[in-house]
Amino acid sequence: MRDPRDLYELNDQVANALMERTQAQEIGPVLVVSLKGFIDAGHVGDISVEHLLESGSAQRVATFDHDRLVDYQAKRPTMIFSQSRWAQYDAPQIAMDLLQDQEGMSYLLLHGSEPDRYWDAFVAAVLGLISDFNISLVVGLYGIPMGVPHTRPGGTVLHASRDGLLDDTPEWMGKMQVPASVSNLLEYRLGLGDRDAIGIAVQVPHYLAQSQYAPAAITGLTKLEGVTGLNLHTDGLMEAAREALAEVDRQVENSAEVAEMIKGLENQYDAFVMAHPQESLLAQTTRIPTAEELGAQFEQFLSQQQRDGEDS
C-alpha cells in the first residue's frame, strides 16, 4: 500500500499549531465525519456540514487529493455555462477543517465526497491524522430513510466502536449485511485499534429522503451535541426547519391520497411506540412501504401540483 500521507496536503501553520496544542492535552478534540456517500437521506450530512462551516470559523487543516480518490464518471462534478462560455467548475473536495463551537471549543470536521478509490489508504491516512491531533472521539453523521411520519419526533440510531460507549442503548436488531461506507469502515478500524467512535444515523421519512430536510439535520446535530458536549448553535437552522415542515404540510393538505398515506404511518408509529417504548423502529416486523413506493406517491403528487399550477 502506498504511503497514506501522500493522499493529503497539510496547511502546515494550522496543523503544526493544532498538533502542538492537542498533544499536550490529556483529552484531545472531537472529529466529526460527514462524507457524501451512497446514502444521506434528507441531505442530513450536507445541511449539517454547511451549518458547521458557516458558524464555526473554519480553518483548513488538510486537503485530500480528490483527483486520485474520486471517480469522476461515477460522480460527475458540475459546471455552469453562461451565455457563450463556461463560467464555473465545481470541483469535488475532501478536506479536514478546524472549527470552534459557540463556546469556543475546538473540534475537527472531515467532509466532502466519499472516496471511490483507495479506501484502505484513505482510512489509514485519517487514522494517522487522528493520532497526530490526539483525537479523543470520532463521530459520524448521516441520514437513513425510514417508514416514519414527519409529524412525529425525529429519531436516531446510534452505533459505536465498543461496548459501553453508549448509555442505555437497546439492542435493536441482530446481524445483517449492508453496503459499506468509508465512514463506517473508519469506525470499524478505530474499534480494532481500541479507539472511540460513534455513528449517528438520523431517521428521515422515506418520502422526504431526497429533500433538503432541515428538521432531520437538527435532530442529528442535537444528538451530536449530546454525545460530544459541543454547542453547535442548532437555533440557526430553525427557520429552515419551519419552512420545510410548512411546505410538506401544505403539499399534504392538498392531497387526500398523501394525507391518508401519512395517517397510516402515524398510526403504525404510535402503535409501535406504545408497545415497544424502548426499542428502535428498525426492529419492527410490520411491513412498511418502501422508499420507492412512498417516494413515487409523493413525487406523483408534487408533479400533479406543478401541472395544475401551469394549467391555471
Residue 292 has pLDDT above 80, yes or no: no
Q: How many other C-beta atoms are found inside a 10 Å radius of the C-beta of residue 148? A: 22
Q: For residue 282, what pLDDT is reported?
A: 53
User: What per-residue confidence (pLDDT) applies to 5?
Assistant: 94
Provide the mean pLDDT of the chain: 88
> Quick one: pLDDT at residue 53?
97
154 and 215 Cβ atoms separated by less than 8 Å: yes
- Model pLDDT for residues 203-248, shown as the tens digit of each residue: 999 889 999 999 999 999 999 999 999 999 999 999 999 999 999 9
Look at residue 283 in the predicted model and tell me its pLDDT.
44
Query: pLDDT (tens digit, 9 = 90+) per residue, 3-25?
Result: 999 999 999 999 999 999 999 99
Q: Can you give the three-state secondary structure of the chain, one letter per residue?
A: CCCHHHHEEECHHHHHHHHHHHHCCCCCCEEEEEEECCCCHHHHHHHHHHHHHHHCCCEEEEEECHHHHCCCCCCCCEEEEECCEEEEEECCCEEEEEEECCCCCEEEEEEEECCCCCHHHHHHHHHHHHHHCCCCEEEEEEEEEECCCCCCCCCEEEEECCCCCCCCCCCCCCCCCCCCCHHHHHHHHHHHCCCCEEEEEEEEEHHHCCCCCHHHHHHHHHHHHHHHCCCCCHHHHHHHHHHHHHHHHHHHHCCHHHHHHHHHHHHHHHHHHHHCCCCCHHHCCCCCCCHHHHHHHHHHHHHHHHHHHHHC
Tell whether the model's pLDDT for residue 122 goes beyond 90. yes
Model confidence over 125-158: pLDDT tens digits? Answer: 999 999 999 999 999 999 999 888 999 988 899 9
Residues 6+ apart with CB under 8 A from 284: 272, 276
Q: pLDDT tier at 288 (50, 70, 90 boundaries)? A: very low
User: What are the tens digits of pLDDT across the range 27-69?
Assistant: 999 999 999 987 899 999 999 999 999 997 899 999 999 999 9
Residue 296, pLDDT above cutoff 70: no
pLDDT of residue 172: 53
| Residue-level pLDDT at 174 | 67
- Domains present along the chain, CATH in parentheses: 4-311 (3.40.50.10900)
Torsion sign (Cα): 284, 288, 294, 297: negative
Alpha-carbon distance of 62 to 12, in angstroms, equals: 9
The 10s digit of each residue's pLDDT in 60-119 is 999 999 999 999 998 899 999 999 999 999 999 999 999 999 999 999 999 999 999 999
The closest of 303, 288, 299 to 145, measured between CA atoms, is: 288
pLDDT band at residue 257 under the 50/70/90 scheme: confident
How confident is residue 255, by pLDDT bands cut at 50, 70 and 90? confident
Residue 291: is its pLDDT beyond 80? no
Q: Is the pLDDT of residue 287 over 60?
A: no
Is pLDDT at 311 greater than 80 in this prediction? no
